[in-house]
């Protein structure tokens, strides 16, 4: 399946989702669904759900970037209709359609669909601009249960540094990270 979820990241996400107490998960930034499907495969075993949040639009990936930025240029060239169709095909192929709840919209427009402290795990992998990654942290942090997890992708990108500082300022503690395909796992303080 096409995507960038490394084996190590997959293993960490699935380990959390294998826990019977993990019932409600959300991912911001789905692309073709690789990491969402990995989590759904684990959640399916005990009736959990993963909410796949993505607008699949060029407008959403351009936010916060200058039009000369490499990411702006790469993401702007993508065929979002085809990418969305690939996501839907992958969900069907892996038989997890009843475990995935598609939330088609920009993360800042749909965050109010989640109650505070309702998520066991949040995977932030949407638009990595400083504006959008920081906004995702600020809007969704309280949606995660105390003691729940937040996975932040591409932690070596300068544009995500501010979002990571906000996680720490809000009381999250980094519990695991990876340098090869950089990501970090944070736990929300139970206090």
* CATH number of the domain encompassing residue 157: 3.40.50.150
* Mean pLDDT taken over the chain: 95
Report how far apart the first and last C-alpha atoms of the chain are (Å, whole number): 39
Examine residue 1 and state whether it is found in any structural domain, yes or no: no
Residue 50, domain member (yes or no): yes
Domains contained in the chain, number: 1
Is residue 29, in this structure, part of any structural domain at all?
yes
Helix segments in the chain, DSSP class H: 7-18, 34-43, 58-62, 70-76, 80-93, 107-110, 130-140, 161-169
Residue 2 lies in a domain: no
**Spatial CA neighbour of 61 closest among 133, 126, 108:** 126
130 in any annotated domain: yes
Of 89, 87, 90, the residue nearest 103 (C-alpha): 87
pLDDT at 111: 98
Q: Is residue 60 part of a domain?
A: yes
Closest CA to 120 of 179, 57, 67, 185: 185
Range of the domain at 154: 7-188
Q: Does residue 62 sit within a domain? A: yes
Tens of pLDDT, residues 11-65: 999 999 999 999 999 999 999 999 999 999 999 999 999 999 999 999 999 999 9
Distance CA 62, CA 179 (A): 26
> pLDDT digits over 175-184, tens only?
999 877 799 9
Between helix 161-169 and helix 130-140 the angle, nearest 10°, is 20
Closest C-alpha to 35, from 55, 9, 53:
9
Note whether residue 104 is domain-resident.
Answer: yes
29 and 125 Cβ atoms separated by less than 8 Å: yes
56-98 confidence digits (pLDDT tens): 999 999 999 999 999 889 999 999 999 999 999 999 999 999 9
């Amino acid at each position: 399946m096409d995507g960038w979820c490394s084996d190590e990241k997959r293993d960490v996400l699935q380990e959390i989702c294998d826990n019977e107490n993990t019932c409600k998960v959300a991912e911001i930034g789905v692309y073709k669904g690789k990491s969402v499907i990995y989590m759904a495969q684990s959640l399916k075993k005990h009736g959990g759900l993963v909410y796949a949040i993505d607008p699949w639009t060029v407008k959403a990936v351009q936010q916060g970037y200058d039009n000369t930025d490499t990411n702006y240029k790469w993401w702007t060239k993508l065929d979002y209709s085809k990418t969305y169709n690939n996501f839907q095909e992958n969900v069907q192929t892996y038989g997890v359609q009843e475990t995935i709840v598609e939330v088609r919209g920009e993360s800042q427009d749909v965050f109010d669909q989640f109650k505070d402290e309702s998520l066991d795990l949040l995977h932030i992998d949407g638009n990595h601009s400083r504006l959008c990654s920081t906004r995702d942290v600020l809007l969704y942090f309280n949606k995660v249960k105390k003691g729940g997890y937040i996975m932040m992708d591409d932690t070596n990108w300068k544009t995500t540094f501010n979002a990571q500082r906000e996680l720490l300022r809000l009381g999250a503690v980094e519990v695991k990270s990876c340098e090869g395909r950089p990501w970090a796992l944070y736990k929300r303080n139970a206090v």
